[in-house]
Amino acid sequence: MKITYLALSALLSAAAGAPVDKDIKTTTKSSGSETAFMKKMLDDMADYYEAGAVYDPEYFEELTACMAKYDDELLPTSQDNAWKQMMAYFKSNGTDKDYMGKSDHWGGCIPGGDGSRCPEGPYSRSTPEVFGAEKMEIYEPCNYVSNVAYYRSVTRTCAYKWSVDDA
């Protein structure tokens, strides 16, 4: 999935603690958790590839424990907010006019057009796949899901025995 400027901006704003779309609801049983929406999105990915599957709950627990390892309340929340803002961007279909006066719509990557944000070429797939109850359209499902691999580096970093003093 190619992330357009507005989507990236929304993700970074969410990660930085900017206001989040409070209308986005989770469908997970742990909706009181600060990472419930993140878990819901990861479950949607697992379900896409294997109907009824959920994201590995043991690994998710390890990941969220790692994120909160040093009593950091912002990191788990920022990840949840990033997923919420991605969904909000999808639901809003982006914008007709951003701060640079250009359109930025979900899936609107048309190379070569006036003010195109996608000069390198179109999506490999011209028909999107849908994820989750919200039916979020994803044009590059393998690319979208493969980005979750970066979470593995988080737990590996957490498990690493650092030689610097924590103090």
Q: Which residue is it, tokens 């393998």?
A: 142
Confidence of residue 33 (pLDDT cuts 50, 70, 90): low
Q: Give residue-wise pLDDT tens across range 123-150.
A: 566 678 999 999 999 888 888 899 899 9
Tell me what pLDDT residue 126 has. Answer: 65
Main-chain phi, psi angles of 146, to 5 degrees: -65, -25
In whole angstroms, how far apart are CA 30 and each of 26, 27, 39, 139? 9, 8, 9, 29
Residue with more model confidence, 61 or 22: 61
Domain boundaries, the chain: 5-17+31-159
What's the DSSP call for residue 123?
Answer: -
Confidence of residue 36 (pLDDT cuts 50, 70, 90): very high
What's the average model confidence in pLDDT over 37-52?
95
pTM, two decimals, is 0.70
Burial 117-149 (b: 16+ CB within 10 A, else e): beeeeebeeeebbebbebebebbebeebbeeee
Q: Give residue-wise pLDDT tens across range 49-108.
A: 999 999 999 999 999 999 988 888 888 999 999 999 999 999 998 888 888 787 788 877
Residue with more model confidence, 109 or 85: 85
Closest by CA to 19, choosing from 105, 68, 69, 81, is: 81
Tell me what pLDDT residue 10 has. Answer: 44
Long-range contacts, 46-54 (Cβ 8 Å, 24+): 47/131, 47/132, 48/129, 48/131, 48/141, 48/145, 49/145
